[in-house]
């Protein structure tokens, strides 16, 4: 088990960073400073918004994402973060491959603006999806972090 101060969660978002900001706010409300949250934006605006949501650190662009996900314990984002050319082209094939191949556990929110439908999912508002993400998939981390 890792010490609490080294548990690293990468939250990845693009465009305006609204989804990533929502995730980070809720993570920080639940876990406080027991986790290190890295805001990884496909662009500087997304990163800036996630930093305002209390991410510990942030970086933007292809190389920042490719290098940072190698050191992550957990990666959180929408399903689009593993799809080349998602987010209106902001998510490069190199980013998608690095995220998908990272040894970190990935928890993906089934929101997408791409031409993909995930069958069997209910239309659930983002804040409720993030609550479910934390309650169902991260609550067991309370014992680890």
Which domains does the chain show, CATH number per domain?
A: 4-143 (3.40.50)
Dihedral of the alpha carbons of 65, 49, 116, 70, in degrees to the nearest 10: 20
pLDDT at 1 over 50: no
* 87 Cβ contact list (under 8 Å, min separation 6): 14, 15, 42, 80, 113
Residue 9: in which H helix or E strand, if any? strand 8-13
pLDDT digits (tens, 9 = 90+) for 53-89: 999 999 999 999 999 999 999 999 999 999 999 999 9
For residue 4, the model assigns a pLDDT of: 45
For residue 81, the model assigns a pLDDT of: 96
CA distances for 82 relative to 93, 107, 138, angstroms = 9, 11, 20
Dihedral of the alpha carbons of 137, 130, 31, 105, in degrees to the nearest 10: 40
């Amino acid at each position: 088990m890792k010490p609490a101060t080294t548990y690293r969660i990468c939250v990845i978002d693009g465009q305006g960073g609204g989804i990533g900001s929502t995730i980070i706010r809720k993570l920080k409300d639940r876990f406080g400073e027991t986790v290190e949250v890295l805001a990884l934006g496909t662009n500087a605006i997304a990163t800036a918004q996630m930093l305002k949501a209390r991410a510990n650190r942030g970086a933007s662009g292809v190389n920042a994402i490719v290098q940072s996900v190698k050191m992550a314990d957990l990666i959180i984002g929408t399903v689009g973060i593993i799809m080349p050319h998602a987010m209106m082209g902001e998510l490069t094939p190199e980013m998608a491959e690095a995220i998908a191949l990272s040894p970190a556990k990935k928890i993906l929110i089934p929101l997408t603006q791409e031409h993909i439908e995930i069958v069997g999912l209910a239309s659930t508002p983002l804040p409720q999806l993030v609550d479910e993400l934390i309650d169902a998939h991260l609550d067991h981390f309370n014992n680890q972090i």
